[in-house]
């Protein structure tokens, strides 16, 4: 129901595997992987302002509070963006009409169901096929914290970093930006091989899968164009482990 099956045919999987073998880092781009009608409901849910909370990372600690952030030098701040906070989705809704509330709640439920789907056996089986490794959550203490929505504004940033971790086989990025302008910025950029960076535009329903331990997989996000101060870059980030 969530997947476009034609994107995961045996022939398509074979092509993805060949791409992984020849690319540095090992990555593959799959456009239109998901059912766009259902993804549109997710996109609408993410437009609600009360669902977001600012997330700050430094090189010395993750999820630092405001005081720690202010005391950290600029060159040690590597992530500032908003994370989707599922626990806040039922409060502070300033919607008067009951039918509008029901529509919003249905979309938020759909957004949560999509996150669950990204950690289900059906989807992880497809990842296992593409990367030719068994992906499972059976040894992951809290799988849900490894899959969530994020958004960035022109004042946010994700600086160069690596996502490798023992047993982590795959990182997934799915973009949820409709009518994205090529002048908006926000491209994912891999370090690549031999100082040849690879930039990938964050187009709607574009899925990027990569091996975080492969050569050149260090990456960053190009900052958004400051002229578009009311624009956000939306994506899902998900990490997966082997047995």
The model's pLDDT over 172-228, given as tens digits with 9 standing for 90+, comes to 999 999 989 888 999 999 999 988 999 999 999 999 999 999 999 999 999 999 876
Sequence-distant (≥ 6) Cβ neighbours of residue 174 within 8 angstroms: 33, 34, 205, 206, 207, 208, 235, 236, 238
Judge if the upstream peptide bond of residue 228 is cis by omega within 30 degrees of 0: no
**Domains within the chain, CATH numbers bracketed:** 5-241 (2.60.120.620)
Enter the pTM of the model: 0.93
pLDDT digits (tens, 9 = 90+) for 134-168: 999 998 999 999 999 999 999 999 999 999 988 99
């Amino acid at each position: 129901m969530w997947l476009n099956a034609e994107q995961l045919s045996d022939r398509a999987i074979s092509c993805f595997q060949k791409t992984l073998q020849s690319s540095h880092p090992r990555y593959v781009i799959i456009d239109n992987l998901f059912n766009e009608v259902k993804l549109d409901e997710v996109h609408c849910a993410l437009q609600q302002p009360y669902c977001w909370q600012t997330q700050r990372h430094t090189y010395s600690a993750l999820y630092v509070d405001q005081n720690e952030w202010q005391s950290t030098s600029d060159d040690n701040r590597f992530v500032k963006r908003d994370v989707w906070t599922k626990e806040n989705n039922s409060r502070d809704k300033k919607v008067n009409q009951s039918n509008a509330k029901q529509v919003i709640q249905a979309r938020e439920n759909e957004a949560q169901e999509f996150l669950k789907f990204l950690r289900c056996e059906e989807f992880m089986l497809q990842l296992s096929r593409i990367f030719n490794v068994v992906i499972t959550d059976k040894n992951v203490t809290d799988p849900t914290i490894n899959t969530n929505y994020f958004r960035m504004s022109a004042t946010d940033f994700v600086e160069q970093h690596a996502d490798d971790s023992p047993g982590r086989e795959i990182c997934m990025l799915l973009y949820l930006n409709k009518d994205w302008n090529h002048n908006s910025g926000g491209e994912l950029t891999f370090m690549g091989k031999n100082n040849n960076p690879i930039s990938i535009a964050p187009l709607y329903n574009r899925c990027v899968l990569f091996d975080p331990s492969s050569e050149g997989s260090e990456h960053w996000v190009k900052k958004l164009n400051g002229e578009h101060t009311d624009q956000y870059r939306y994506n899902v980030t998900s990490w997966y482990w082997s047995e």
